[in-house]
Amino acid sequence: MAISIHCDVVSAEESIFSGLVEFAVFPGEAGELGILAQHTPLLTRIKPGTIRLKLPNQSDYEMVYVSGGMLEVQPDMITVLADTAIRAHDLDEAKALEAKKRAEEALANRNAEMDYAAAETELAQAIAQLQAIQRLRKAVH
């Protein structure tokens, strides 16, 4: 039996997950971060993507989309403070595709009044949501 660690995933709106996990994977800025119990303390930013949580006595991962935020790891606790967090099965593919299309059009039609950083952020978040949906579909099949 694997050693478990407590994990909390919260957004500004609500607590998305709180419980024990055997293993957790986070979308770090320089690549994915895999965390087990007794990990060395760590504080880092996370980018838009999918958090994968391996729950005790379950073969499938619990998946949560985050739009970015902060990850704090202590030997006995993982805390994610996300800008936005949504359980992967609650993501709306049509909405994500529309947001991606809007952001791509905004970046293609460059004009002086456009906020490039906001459009790039929206595009990154839409792509991350679509990847979370695809990852969830693969896990189900």
Residue-wise pLDDT for 88-122, tens only, equals 767 666 676 676 777 777 767 766 566 767 777 77
Q: Where are the domains of the chain?
A: 5-87, 91-140
Please name every residue paired with 69 in a beta bridge, in sequence order, or none if there are none.
46, 82
Residue-wise pLDDT for 56-79, tens only, equals 998 888 889 898 899 999 999 999
CA distance 29 to 62: 21
Listed in sequence order, the residues at least 6 apart from 99 whose beta carbon sits closer than 8 Å to its beta carbon are 122, 125, 126, 129
Looking at domain 5-87, its CATH architecture is Sandwich (2.60)
Mean pLDDT of the chain: 83
